[in-house]
Chains A and B, each alone.
Chain A
Amino acid sequence: MSKKDYSGRTLSINTHAVPVMGEPTALHAEQFSKLTGAKVNVVHTPAGDLYAKAMVPFQAGQAPYDIVFGFSNFIRDWMQYLEPVPEKYVNMRQMQDVTQSHIGVASWDGQMIQFPIDGDRHYLKYRKDVIDNPKFQKKYKADTGKTLKVPTTWKEYGEIAAYFNGWDWDNDGELEYGSAEVMKKDDLMFAAFFSRSAAYSKNPRTPGGFYFDLETMEPLINNPGFVEALNDWVAATKYVPPGGINFGLGDEINSFGGGQTLFSFSWDDAFVKAMEDGSPIKNKVGAAPLPGAEKVWNREDNSWDMGHNQAPYIVWGWASAVAKKSKNHDMAFDYLCFFANDANHQADIAIGDLE
């Protein structure tokens, strides 16, 4: 990157507010500017306005920003206004580290439209000092007859969370609770519901649709698989901290990351926060795949298929892209490549709020 000379040119970027994504965008803009001589203008926009900030000018035939940040599920709406990622970037070394499923999220019909900068998945986070603790394992077994372990179904998650809800199990003088989840009715909460419902509703024996039956376009969202997941979620309102039913993502991060709950799931942030230097629970947290389910709905047979089912939820996350009408494609893709490159990425993800 230090060989590129963009002096005399200006790159404009619309990104999220500081700190989440906004901070690394600004940081890398400053570095990029020093390395290449380019002037980089960074505009910060609240999450809820990112879509409109990009789309309204696009729809009017304009591209005030060379680079737009948003969420990866904008793709179908904004892709016609975006410059596809050129071959040389698709084939570069650092792109080899991006998983196929995240290349899938960044692409449409095989063409990469968004520049992968954030590989998201939801996963389970738990307190190792409880789950792996022989003292608690013995007590749990004696009290319930069951084994204390990393839950592999949402039912197990609920049972264990309920057991460890509302008492001080880590002797810090404060009560702890079962789970911190995004339950607040906001833009992210639907992802928590799909994480909880995927294993009950995504049946390998009935491909051809999870949200809709692809053939008939009948919504599947009220089938017994989704209903069962929502039953679990209603039960969860009993094992979240006070106010937990109104937790947004920030609250979830602070709650689990601050040591208040046994479990959390959703994006990385809570785990990263827990592992920061100075965290009271540093090195006491573990990560595991999301729980599955002990049964999955079969919409063709109209009955449950019994047996363990798992369905990874490749959840959406931050996305960035270059405007088709930008006059600075070369500089824009170089910036994104720089933003996403290994060294910067390691530094970015070590700061728990950046996702």
Chain B
Amino acid sequence: MGMEEYSTNRVFPLRVPGVFQFTGAVATGTSKALAGQLSPKEALDEVAAEWKKIIKRIGADTIREAYAVGVALEDNEK
């Protein structure tokens, strides 16, 4: 518990507009790797490409604004 509270190196859940599209893409891509259809690198390159499309659809500034809230928590900025 202490590790978490004082850590300046944490991962928080992604909480941006379109979050389920981003996590859905991760599920799709990683599943392909687990099933042996794609190599891990190929699978994640596909996820990154999909993420870029989602960012374009929703708007980079909109997502950045929301993600900044998360980054402040991750880096435990006070």
Report which A residues bind B (CB closer than 8 A).
51, 72-73, 75-77, 99-101, 104-105, 108-109, 121, 183, 185-187, 189-191, 193-194, 198, 202-204, 207-212, 214, 217, 219, 221-222, 226-227, 230-231, 233-234, 237, 245, 289, 309-316
Cβ contacts under 8 Å, B44 to chain A:
221-222, 226-227, 230
Cβ-defined contact, A202 with B74, below 8 A: yes
Besides A227-B41, A313-B10, 12 other A-B contacts (C-beta < 8 A): A105-B13, A202-B9, A212-B51, A214-B67, A214-B71, A217-B55, A219-B52, A221-B47, A233-B30, A311-B11, A313-B11, A314-B73
Cβ contacts under 8 Å, B16 to chain A:
76
Question: Closest chain B residue to A79 by CB distance?
Answer: B15
Helix, strand, loop or mixed for chain B's interface?
helix
Question: B residues 2-17 with Cβ under 8 Å of A?
Answer: 3-5, 7-17
Cβ-defined contact, B9 with A105, below 8 A: no
Cβ-defined contact, B4 with A121, below 8 A: yes
A203–chain B nearest beta-carbon distance, Å: 8
A276–chain B nearest beta-carbon distance, Å: 24
B7–chain A nearest beta-carbon distance, Å: 6
Most buried by B among A100, A191, A210, A289: A210
Bound state CA distance, A313 and B34, in angstroms?
Answer: 22
How many A-B residue contacts, CB cutoff 8 Å? Answer: 144
Cβ-defined contact, B26 with A193, below 8 A: yes
Bound state CA distance, A77 and B66, in angstroms?
Answer: 10
Cβ contacts under 8 Å, B26 to chain A:
190, 193-194, 221
Cβ contacts under 8 Å, A233 to chain B:
30, 33-34, 40
Bound state CA distance, A185 and B64, in angstroms?
Answer: 27
Question: Closest chain B residue to A197 by CB distance?
Answer: B11
A202-B74, A204-B8, A208-B75 given; A221·B51 CB < 8 A: yes
Bound state CA distance, A234 and B44, in angstroms?
Answer: 13
Cβ-defined contact, A230 with B43, below 8 A: yes
A19–chain B nearest beta-carbon distance, Å: 24
Bound state CA distance, A104 and B71, in angstroms?
Answer: 12
Cβ-defined contact, A210 with B30, below 8 A: no
Cβ-defined contact, B7 with A230, below 8 A: no
